[in-house]
Structure 1
């Protein structure tokens, strides 16, 4: 196909994203057709030039779409629809460390669902719970997942009270996991000490470190650092954490992730190139070559002979995605490019 006048770049590799959730439950309680939701999500993913997408699914005490039952449906649905879509959709398990009673399930799921990437989270509001306070919005969140608010608060309080068991249990769990073909990471590290502990356990990917010192510690350990593309586009963290752009300029980023917004990957790359932070090749590398390396995918992330035919075709003026090709299969195409393809 003749593509003169267009930009041809490596397909985007998304190392962590949860924007697919809105396709799985477009309305409250509408979570029946997981397979159709995943197919719809794949269409959005492809339209943003992404050829490999890591779907970050929670396994959390928060319940609902973040609960264990829903997570199982998502992973099972992924296995069912993978052959029906062109994009390489890869599962990621985001597991809440306070759920000690579920540690055996994690090991089982990684093997049963072929999960190649596990990241550890802790989203319990410990400061509030330690003071005996109810987290903001607790009643509404409880009702949305169909749980009695008082019972939900009791369960959360119990998890908080049991945190003294977590370090030793995590050490044992990670010792089992490092023997499996799964990459391990930690999420939202705030201190050098936290990153050092996770590194020692074998969780050697640092997702969204909250501070510069945590990112610097990861770099010193040669652990890859993942930052959020929306943070770059917004010009800072919506939670007041370290600026992704500042960390990138300090050389403290190996890959950008879509996080909660697929279009931000492409936008972040061009924003950095236009702003003189780095040239487009280096900026695009943070959304292609870099994440491919983090995931251990040596067959993609660049346009080189022998690699997967993963590429994205862009309009040089508007920078719109005009075509996405994943492993040689067209997953998205529009406009003049589509006309050239069929003409």
Structure 2
């Protein structure tokens, strides 16, 4: 049941910055006038719920130990609870569709998609699907498109994780044995597969042209992953791929901005102060004004922490920093009904302790998704 109440006394993060006005919730949206019971949130801050444009932190709930547990639906319920505890009210669950197999293979992906379909209507958090398709996995393009249609997937990201330089020389990639075992293949078979995919590289551009045209006709948003150069970004843009996820260089990020594309960076990169893979630091990209959204990537607590880290470093003011985890990702995903505390928008809200910046309550579509600590007494008071 959706809340019907008015929150008073809190600082409220509006599109223009902090405000002291009341926030009313009714019918799953933000109301334009006080309604229902009043809840005093003096001493707390109210902010728009976090929209996560890309995150794969759900994997540990879906497969906590390889081959040992297959309670997929229960795992997805736990994912929703963790998301809410981190203030994430809309989550784009980024699932690989890759020749790598195992948890990155099509079979596991279809289990994830089925679990989201089974759970999505039973939890307040808006669980959405992103399919991360390997560009050289040509034999599975048709199956991936069928999954897009079957599960209503609205966002496809194109990746290429083949180590082409080493494969061109016929050399085994680092960590091949471990990757092969995760895929369920022996190392020689895995290496042979990679060599074959690399050898067919000439077929990839035309296949991608066709795929992207078909996805665009379906209204599917498309992104590229780990762009390194302006030329690479221009190539994707020509195919209608207008989101650049985690560009690895300032050149690529600048090219995206110059071409009117949107840029998603990893929130853990901001929190760490550097890329774990040795690429450009997200802080440097933000400092140049080239970031539209921060995503959890692999760590759901990071978006909220990264926003405040941008403030601490003097990169952005508080409203601008929070926009990177709320309105920014909502807009690049085409979600016009959320991301800001404005009457008529979805009631996706979080309550934060002002001193600790700890998230103590999360409301998604007007329903309580997370509630913890002393603030609970205020919500539950008659």
Q: TM-score, normalised by structure 1?
A: 0.98
Is structure 2 residue 289 aligned with structure 1 residue 232?
no
Question: 1:18, CA displacement in angstroms?
Answer: 0.5
Per the alignment, residue 46 of structure 1 pairs with: 84
Residue matched to 1:266: 304
2:130–2:157 contact (8 Å) kept in structure 1: yes
Q: CA deviation at 1:100?
A: 0.8
Alignment correspondent of 1:251: 289
In structure 2, what is the equivalent of residue 202 of structure 1? 240
Q: Alpha-carbon deviations, 1:72-131, whole Å to 9, x = none?
A: 111111111111111001000000000111111222111111001000000011111111
Aligned to 1:324: 362
Correspondence list, 1:3-42, <5 A: 3-42=41-80
Is the counterpart of residue 151 in structure 1 residue 189 in structure 2?
Answer: yes
Indicate if the aligned counterparts of 2:133 and 2:158 stay in contact, CA closer than 8 A.
yes
Kept after mapping to 1: 8 A contact 2:63/2:69: yes
Q: Does 1:314 align with 2:349?
A: no
Q: Distance in 2 between matches of 1:153 and 1:69?
A: 21
Q: Which stretches in structure 2 are left out of the alignment for 5+ residues?
A: 1-38
Aligned residues between the structures? 343
RMSD: 0.9
Please state how far the C-alpha of 1:31 moved relative to its aligned partner: 4.7
Unaligned runs of 5+ in 1: none
Decide which of 137, 147, 157 is 1:99's aligned counterpart. Answer: 137
Alpha-carbon distance between aligned partners in 1 of 2:224 and 2:378, rounded to the nearest angstrom: 45
CA contact (8 A) 2:49 2:339 kept: yes
TM-score, length basis structure 2: 0.88
The structure richer in strand per residue is 2
Give 1:214's match in structure 2, choosing from 218, 230, 252: 252
Larger-Rg structure: 2
1:281-313 per-position Cα deviation (integer Å, ceiling 9, x unaligned): 100000000000011000000000000001010
1:70 match? 108
